[in-house]
Structure 1
Amino acid sequence: MSPHTAEYPTLDETGPPILTERKGFQDKEGLEDIENAADQLEEVIEFKQGLHQRHIQMIALAGTIGTGLFLGSGRAIAAAGPLGAFLGYSIIGVIVLSVVFGVGEMGALAPLTGGAIRYFELFFDPAMSFAVGWNFVYSYLVSIPSEIVAAAVIIEFWVTINNSIWITVFGVVMLTTSFLFVRLYGELEFGFSMLKIMLVIGINIMALVITCGGGPSHQAIGFSYWKNPGPFVQYLGVGGSWGRFLGFWTTLNNALYAYSGIDNITIAAAETRNPRQAIPQAARRIFVRILLFYVLTIFMVGLVVPSNDPSLLGSTGTAAHSPFVIAARNAGITAVPSIINAVVLTSAWSSGNSNMLGGSRILYGMASHGHAPKIFQRMNRFGVPYVSVALYGLFMALGYMTLSESASTVFTWLQDIVAISTLINWVSICIVYLRFYYACKKQGIDRHKQLPWAAPFQPWTTWFSLMLLIILYFTGGYKTFMHGKWSTETFISSYLNGPLILALYFGYKFLMKTKVIPLEEIPIRPFIENYQNNPEPREKPKRGLRRLNILWS
């Protein structure tokens, strides 16, 4: 290769990326960064671009709707009251927007498989990519079998047989679909997302009807539950404003985990058609989705269920203790539990599918740059990294641990430890986006004119999110420090993850002699040139009834 040229793939309108020469790179010191960026871009050739814009946008939506909304919202009401839960979900919604906007801006410029971990390596330090990447892998290894177990437990609502049967059935089906075309995954997620949307719309309409007195009991509730037992709850029996604040603060952590997975819109970027259009559209529409599907829903829950209802404190693993089921039962509406349980079952399956896709692509991305064994790069004829998928398939066997009571306790500990990884991952994303943002300023790059998409309200919302997330991490296990409230499980699950990430980061940094990339050396311009010289075909404007579609293009 000439010292004044660099090769990297470009996108034509009809086929996969092709390699062309781009001349004019006279800066010898920047040549290595340009060639590294070229290597990052070449991986797109290996994947089948089977995901359309409607798939990637609905996948982004699927990450925001799950059991945390259908079942977990009741625990939020019980801990913080209707107003406390509403404020908690709204504040975390702002943090989620900032995280998704940051990922979306970087992903639109550099659509690489593996999501955020690729940006850690490009825009910060390879050691961070290694540490946080294995944190992602660890999370997926445990969360996939937990989703399978959740699906098996939900089925017990209708029939009771040995859970190992359902764990095996769901595991085999999930593994089979993961080995096939990514298009199949996209269609499954599209269908599951539609079911979730219809359920959310249906239960909110039901809540409105009950509130206005349209249920069989014909009792108008209005805001009566905001007056008695009140808008806030005296959490843990602590009196006064301090007790109400603790309930609100606890809901911030609950909402954080309920929103987990929403940042995965760029994990399959190399398998997405026209990613520089699809990813920004998915990111922009997150605002409407959070407002309609989370904030509005938690508000409606607070209207129809009192925070002191004993059923909210129960936990059976089925829809029996969903606040919407409680509201329907109190209003005399029947058949709702089965409907909600059926859709929650698809939510668990959908979440498992998403984790299989995300986990295998992250592992592929790590292997392609020496952070995991090279064997995880192997592809099957469908363009799927089958060895990576197979590893997650092996760990599905962890689901059988729940068949033993003692093992189930250990497995619960693992789930709790994994839960905090969402917070750690979001902190890392905020940090790397700020590096990207200030690198653009340092290099004189106008984000709004030269990038495919520039996220709004930056860097202020990212700084706010980063500070709040750090505070939440250090206060997440506050209950263990209260008199008589010590819990080893809570302490470990709240604080172990952070030191482990730091140990991986500094260990890799020491062994591999990596360095934090200076702002002026971060390779942003090669991606900008690739974007400018290879425009994606513009989508056709919507016509007729398609103009009313706000969910996908």
Structure 2
Amino acid sequence: MAPSSNTPPAERQYGTIGGVRPVPIPTPTRGASQHRGPYRTLSGHSRSARSQLIQRDGEYVTDVENNDLKRGLAQRHLSMMGIAGSIGTGLFLGLGIAVQKAGPLGALLGYAVVGLIVCAVQFALGEVAALLPVTGSFVRHAELLVDPAWGFAIGWNLVYGNLLSIPSEITAICVLFEFWTDINPALFIVIFIVITLAVGLAFIRVFGEVEFVFALLKIFLVVFLIILGLIINLGGIPGTERIGLRYWHDPGPFVEYIASGSWGKFLGFWAVMTGAVFSFAGVESLAMAAAETQNPRRAIPLACKRVFARIIIFYMLAVFVVGLLVPSNDERLDGSGDSVAQSPFVIAAQAAGIPAIASFVNAIVITSAWSASNQSLLAGTRVLYGLALKGQAPEIFLRTTSWGTPYMCVLFFACFMPLSFMSLSNGAMTVFWWLVSLTAAGVLVSWASILFNHIRLRQGMKKQGIDDERLPWHNWWTVYSSPGALVLCLVILFTSGFSVFTTGRWDAATFVSSYLDIPIVLTAYIAWKMRNKTKMVSLDEMPLHAIFDQAYSPHPDEPPPKQRGVIRFASWIWD
């Protein structure tokens, strides 16, 4: 039925979605925002008036982003965040546990399966985010393409996941410092909480440059460790013998887990999945700060396209080399007995008689863990800011500094960083793996949402007769990869804690850490749906024509800057 003349202009043009008006993307007006005290207001409106605008007129939502946030992230920042943002303790510390549980071949296959899921997620995210580059990324996409209540649930789930991810990385730092000293870990926890906050409150460009530098360090470290590992394995260090594939034969390529025989080997391979998901966590966060990114419709697809291959190469080679260097029955991999849990690369360097290299590697791994916590802080705070934009979080989280940082969001996250002090009473590795399971479940829910958003977008386009060529970026195979990866995500999510259901292995802490996220998401979804009586967006009601019509108006592409000097020769890493 055609809209009446009394219908508000926004609804006449765009229709409604489950009773909630869609959010068209306005063209920002130069000079609309002025500094007024510690944070800005929208076009001269007071904060309370701005809140009313957000509640009443959805078309102002992205105007708030354009006015209150600063575009300080360049394409190289996004690419490096995508490449190295997920390279943290999951790679340097978690790979040893993976080899111990599944054996060298089992770990390699486990990471390969999760790597394929990551590829599908990256391409699905890139296609949707290039069309809708908004802060909060796939959380805001879910409102338009799935259900406003699902956007609320997935947004708070992501906030919750990142709240846990930061203390998990800081806890891992405590584990790594035990390699050198027995000083009270509380000192290191306080230090890293303070410097994480400092970066989080700084201008987004500062964060981008810090992460860019540490990302380069992590990439060069991974390359160095892969080369060093191959040299050690082939007997290239004086005084060491060639290892070759010795550990693939003894203890063997697979490790039996819980059961025996082929079934036990399969369970060992499947037990790697949760750790592998945690290792890749963060690759989806490169689009979270779209409103703070220069030329997002060009930068985000480039980052997604160029990042995934490098990630897979780094991880696959790293897993393979670890399986060559350390036997799966080495107790130092998980800190059992009297040993301290160590990175398998550190163990290999010690075995080769080069302790200086071991200390160097441990130091860089610590910086990698801190870098990963920084990225979790960025992703979590921007999602929280996006929720506040839509009235799904308190308005106080919209407050930004004069340089465009949502400081109240950062301070909220700071309240949960002391969770890392749990490691002082329960053991750092125990707490680390609790947090890994909690975080991995949240990551799987986020990946599933990204894939489902993409599936819904393509279905809506087909229903409304919109050709795929109109997408700013698209790939023919994603209509097949997204459904397949979605099924895998759900299977891993529901089987992540399978060990507790086997005879004699019930553990309440493991069960809760594996499955707590599922009722949290469902409760949030149902509660918001009942409160606001939202409906799932029908394919006909998606405001796709309006979105495509305005797809390029807010942020017209600027020509990419030409690289000069030394930077030109290194830029292949991110370009």
The residue aligned with 2:372 is 351
Identity of aligned residues (%): 45
Kindly provide the amino acid, as one letter, of the partner of residue 77 in structure 2: H
Partners in 1 of 2:344 and 2:176 — Cα distance?
Answer: 16
Q: 1:292 aligns with which of 298, 301, 313?
A: 313
Structure 1 residues 73 and 150, CA gap change in structure 2 (3 angstroms): closer
Farther off after superposition, 188-197 or 136-145: 136-145
Matched, 1:479 2:514: no
Partners in 2 of 1:15 and 1:542 — Cα distance?
Answer: 31
Matched, 1:435 2:456: yes
Q: 1:143 aligns with which of 144, 151, 165?
A: 165
Structure 1 residues 408 and 197, CA gap change in structure 2 (3 angstroms): closer
Matched, 1:164 2:186: yes
The residue aligned with 1:110 is 132
Partners in 2 of 1:101 and 1:471 — Cα distance?
Answer: 21
Aligned residue for 2:551, secondary structure, equals: helix
Equivalent pair of 1:319/1:340 in contact (CA under 8 Å): no
Equivalent pair of 1:102/1:455 in contact (CA under 8 Å): no
Kindly provide the amino acid, as one letter, of the partner of residue 9 in structure 1: P
Query: Alpha-carbon deviations, 1:436-479, whole Å to 9, x = none?
Result: 121111122222x2121114511211111111111112221211
Matched, 1:493 2:513: yes
Query: Alpha-carbon deviations, 1:516-542, whole Å to 9, x = none?
Result: 111122123333222344631121566
Partners in 2 of 1:8 and 1:429 — Cα distance?
Answer: 21
The residue aligned with 1:50 is 72
Structure 1 residues 139 and 85, CA gap change in structure 2 (3 angstroms): same
Structure 1 residues 264 and 319, CA gap change in structure 2 (3 angstroms): farther
Q: TM-score, normalised to structure 1's length?
A: 0.89
Kindly provide the amino acid, as one letter, of the partner of residue 233 in structure 2: T
The residue aligned with 1:206 is 228
Query: Alpha-carbon deviations, 1:131-174, whole Å to 9, x = none?
Result: 11111111222322333333344334334333333322222222
- 1:408-447 aligned at under 5 Å gives the runs 413=434, 416-447=437-468
The residue aligned with 2:246 is 224
Partners in 2 of 1:408 and 1:314 — Cα distance?
Answer: 8
Matched, 1:529 2:546: no
Q: 1:505 aligns with which of 503, 519, 525?
A: 525
Matched, 1:333 2:360: no
Partners in 1 of 2:323 and 2:13 — Cα distance?
Answer: 62
Kindly provide the amino acid, as one letter, of the partner of residue 493 in structure 1: S
Query: Alpha-carbon deviations, 1:46-92, whole Å to 9, x = none?
Result: 21111111111111122221111111111111111111111111111
> RMSD over aligned Cα, in angstroms?
3.0
Equivalent pair of 1:319/1:341 in contact (CA under 8 Å): no
The residue aligned with 2:490 is 470
Kindly provide the amino acid, as one letter, of the partner of residue 186 in structure 2: S
Partners in 1 of 2:479 and 2:283 — Cα distance?
Answer: 20
Equivalent pair of 2:256/2:264 in contact (CA under 8 Å): yes
Structure 1 residues 154 and 307, CA gap change in structure 2 (3 angstroms): closer
Kindly provide the amino acid, as one letter, of the partner of residue 163 in structure 2: L
Kindly provide the amino acid, as one letter, of the partner of residue 199 in structure 2: T
Aligned residue for 1:171, secondary structure, equals: helix
Aligned residue for 2:283, secondary structure, equals: coil
Question: Structure 2: any 5+ residue segments left out of the alignment?
Answer: 1-7, 15-23, 34-56
Kindly provide the amino acid, as one letter, of the partner of residue 192 in structure 2: F
Aligned residue for 1:459, secondary structure, equals: helix
The residue aligned with 2:143 is 121
Matched, 1:60 2:82: yes
Q: 2:470 aligns with which of 435, 445, 450?
A: 450
Kindly provide the amino acid, as one letter, of the partner of residue 514 in structure 2: S
The residue aligned with 1:265 is 286
The Cα of 1:104 is off from its aligned counterpart by 1.5
The Cα of 1:501 is off from its aligned counterpart by 1.1
Matched, 1:391 2:408: no
Kindly provide the amino acid, as one letter, of the partner of residue 223 in structure 2: I
The residue aligned with 2:17 is none
Partners in 1 of 2:134 and 2:106 — Cα distance?
Answer: 39
Kindly provide the amino acid, as one letter, of the partner of residue 365 in structure 1: G
Kindly provide the amino acid, as one letter, of the partner of residue 484 in structure 1: G
Q: 2:214 aligns with which of 192, 206, 215?
A: 192
Kindly provide the amino acid, as one letter, of the partner of residue 541 in structure 2: E
The residue aligned with 2:95 is 73
Kindly provide the amino acid, as one letter, of the partner of residue 483 in structure 2: W
The residue aligned with 1:342 is 363
Aligned residue for 1:384, secondary structure, equals: coil
Equivalent pair of 1:215/1:331 in contact (CA under 8 Å): yes
The Cα of 1:296 is off from its aligned counterpart by 1.1
Matched, 1:87 2:109: yes
Aligned residue for 1:509, secondary structure, equals: helix
Kindly provide the amino acid, as one letter, of the partner of residue 328 in structure 1: A
The residue aligned with 2:26 is 9
Aligned residues: 536
Aligned residue for 1:325, secondary structure, equals: helix
Partners in 2 of 1:97 and 1:16 — Cα distance?
Answer: 40
Kindly provide the amino acid, as one letter, of the partner of residue 209 in structure 2: E
The residue aligned with 2:45 is none
Question: Structure 1: any 5+ residue segments left out of the alignment?
Answer: 18-34
Q: TM-score, normalised to structure 2's length?
A: 0.86
Kindly provide the amino acid, as one letter, of the partner of residue 473 in structure 1: L
Query: Alpha-carbon deviations, 1:382-403, whole Å to 9, x = none?
Result: 1111111111112223333443
